[in-house]
Amino acid sequence: MWRQYFSRQKTNAKNKKLNDEINDTNKDIPVGVLQLFRFTDRIDIVLLILGLCFMLGHVVGAIANVILFGRITGLFATTSFAVDCTNQYKNFVSTILNNTVCPFGIDLNPLN
C-alpha cells in the first residue's frame, strides 16, 4: 500500500466513500440529560445515591487533609524555631550571628 505513494506511475483508482461521508437519512433525535433517567431502575438509583455519598465523603476528607497538614506543618515550624525573638534581638551581636533563625518582625505561632 505505501509503495503507491513513492512510485512514478499515476493510478486512476478512485477512493471508496467512508462511512462518515455517506449521507444517512436516519438522524437521531436529541435527548435531554434528565430524559435519560426515565430508564433507570432501583439498582441504578441506589448506585447513584451511593456514588454521591462517597463523593461528598471524599471532598470532606480532602479538605480535612489540607487543613490538618497545614496545622501540623505550622506546629513543626513553631517548635523547630522555638527561640525567644525579643530576647535575641536585645543583644545586637546575637542578631548578626543568628539572623537566619528568627527574622526580625516575624512572630512564630502555630497558625503561620
Report pLDDT digits (tens) over 56-98: 999 999 999 999 999 888 888 777 665 555 555 555 554 455 4
Instruction: Record the cell numbers describing residue 78, joined without a space.
Output: 513553631
pLDDT of residue 103: 59
Residue 3, domain member (yes or no): no
CA angle 50, 56, 57 (to 5 degrees): 90
Residue 78, domain member (yes or no): yes
Say how many C-beta atoms besides its own lie within 10 A of residue 12's C-beta. Answer: 4
Give, as one character, the DSSP assignment of residue 31: -
Q: How many domains does the chain have?
A: 1
Domain that holds residue 87: 41-105
**Distance, CA of 105 to CA of 88 (rounded, Å):** 12
Instruction: Record the cell numbers describing residue 75, joined without a space.
Output: 506546629
